[in-house]
């Protein structure tokens, strides 16, 4: 896949609820995921299986109630950013939260090799 195809496929998957399905297609086996803060699982995980585990935790903890995913913002030929503005409900507490974050993705050899998330407390 080309850089543009990867960026657009990631955004489309986020918009259509196919994020988990895209992991094997878009991510390198040794990809790194970095969070802005430690949410009890550490800030950084490495490897596709660990990233899948993060997605499973998210899906089991939160219910998506709506939101918006921007088009990709490319920076050169190896990085792109996406802005997420979402409303989620914490499944256990029922608390509803509006969230906004920026994700920065780095691409090498036709795969995402790093994702890094930026958001406020």
CATH number of the domain where residue 26 is located: 3.10.450.50
Is residue 7 within 8 A of residue 22, CB to CB? The reply is no
Predicted confidence at residue 77, as pLDDT, reads 92
> In terms of DSSP bridges, do strands 111-119 and 27-34 run parallel, antiparallel, or are they unpaired?
parallel
Residue 100 has pLDDT above 90, yes or no: yes
What is the number of structural domains in the chain?
A: 1
Q: Which of 6, 61, 35, 77 is nearest to 14 (CA)?
A: 6
Predicted confidence at residue 121, as pLDDT, reads 61
Is residue 118 within 8 A of residue 101, CB to CB? The reply is yes
Domain that holds residue 15: 3-119
Q: Residues 39-97: pLDDT tens digits?
A: 777 899 999 999 999 999 989 999 999 999 999 999 999 999 999 999 999 999 999 99
pTM of this prediction? 0.93
Predicted confidence at residue 92, as pLDDT, reads 96
Q: What angle do CA 48, 54, 57 make, to 5 degrees?
A: 140
């Amino acid at each position: 896949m080309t850089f543009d195809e990867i960026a657009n496929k990631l955004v489309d998957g986020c918009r259509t609820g196919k994020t988990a399905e895209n992991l094997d297609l878009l991510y390198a086996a040794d990809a790194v995921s970095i969070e802005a803060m430690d949410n009890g699982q550490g800030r950084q995980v490495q490897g596709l299986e660990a990233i899948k585990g993060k997605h499973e935790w998210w899906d089991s903890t939160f219910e998506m109630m709506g939101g918006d995913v921007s088009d990709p913002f490319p920076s050169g030929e190896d990085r792109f950013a996406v802005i997420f503005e979402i409303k989620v409900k914490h499944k256990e507490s029922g608390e509803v939260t509006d969230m906004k974050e920026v994700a920065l993705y780095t691409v090498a050899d036709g795969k995402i090799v790093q994702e890094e998330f930026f958001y406020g407390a």
